[in-house]
Every structure is written in C-alpha cells, then in structure tokens.
Chains A and B, each alone.
Chain A
C-alpha cells in the first residue's frame, strides 16, 4: 500500500507563489499525479511525473524525487481562481495503470 502525506491547508496572496509538498512511502512506484479540484466538482488533471526532475506547464510546475519519495506542485502568479483543493496521487504498481492512491488533499486559499 501507499502512505501519502500533504499539508491540509495553505494560504497565499494573489500574485504570489505557493509550493505544495507531497511525500509518499511505497513498496513500488509507477508515477505521481497532481490534480486540482474545485468545491463540488471533479478533479482536473494537472501533471504526471514518472522520472525525477521538474516539469513546467505554464504557471504550474511539478517536481519529483523518487529516491526521496517526494514531490511538489508549484503554483506561480496565483489567481483567485486557483483557490481549490490540490490532490497528490501515486500510481500503484505493477499490474494496473488505473489504480491511484490519493492523499487527503491540500486546500489552497488565495486572498486578495
């Protein structure tokens, strides 16, 4: 199984940068996902990391270190619409591409 930890809540100001950390303890590993979920809606795919390093997609970047069991999601130039829950999820190996284990989510509050 997996143990996935992320902070419960983070608050930041519009225009600022926020970094959401995620640590995981697994017997195996086959990729890490980040999703954004607004209240009452379904999760929206943000990123998928399999290899170590940083991947940048516009204002959002995701980093992975497999040796440390660590990932972070970086949100730059925060906007009010970025207020949401951010979910870290790890893919459970080895025989299933469709099974993800999720952390509890980090609620990001963006203030004016």
Chain B
C-alpha cells in the first residue's frame, strides 16, 4: 500500500510570491491534515480537510489556505510569501473507522523563501 506522497519535495521562492503544495493521502484515507514545522515553533497544525470540507483550522493567517478534491487529494496555498514562511510543510492522512485512526506523514515539502 502506497504511503502519503507530497510534491514538490523542495521549493525556493521569493518574498511576495505564492506557492501551491500537493498531497495525496493513503488510499482509503479521507482526512488530510497539513502542518508547518520550523526549528523555533516545532510542529504546528495548519488545517484538516475531510470529504472536501475544512474541518479544523490552526492559528495561521489567511494567507494560508487549502482545499481537498473528491479523490481526497489535497493542496495548500500560501500567498504573499514572507521570509518566516520558510519551513518544512508536512501533509498527513488519517484513517477512519475500520481503518484505525492512526495518522501518517508524507515526506514533506521544504520551502525556502528568499
């Protein structure tokens, strides 16, 4: 069974630009969560999508947004990039009843903003 996949793996952007990251969950998982990890703040929850609906949102500005498609694949978008957005962005998928409620992470996208 394939794990969580994320593309791209590495990205370099300039301040003010926008970026879109993609995530494909484990087959059968309908919940997709996004996290930001930085050395200073650790792993922080961004948002969760389930059945194409945002179910929870963390404490991030509106520049961070996401969506989920009918096949459970998800994208997150960051607009007007700031230097502080440099981080490892992790996608995770969670099983539901019958599949266990364990959460598995993808390899991450390392974003560098210059």
Contact = CB atoms under 8 A, between A and B. Distances in A.
Nearest to A45: B104
What are the 8 closest A-B residue pairs judged by CB atoms, nearest first?
A98-B48, A98-B33, A102-B43, A98-B31, A96-B56, A42-B105, A42-B108, A98-B94
Interface string A61-99: 000000000000000000000000001010110011111
Interface in B26-76: 31-33, 42-45, 48-50, 55-56, 58
B66 to A, nearest CB: 12
Per DSSP, chain A at the interface is loop
Interface of A: 31, 33, 35, 41-45, 48, 50, 87, 89, 91-92, 95-105
Interface of B: 31-33, 42-45, 48-50, 55-56, 58, 88, 90, 92, 94, 96, 100-108
Contacts of B33: 98-100
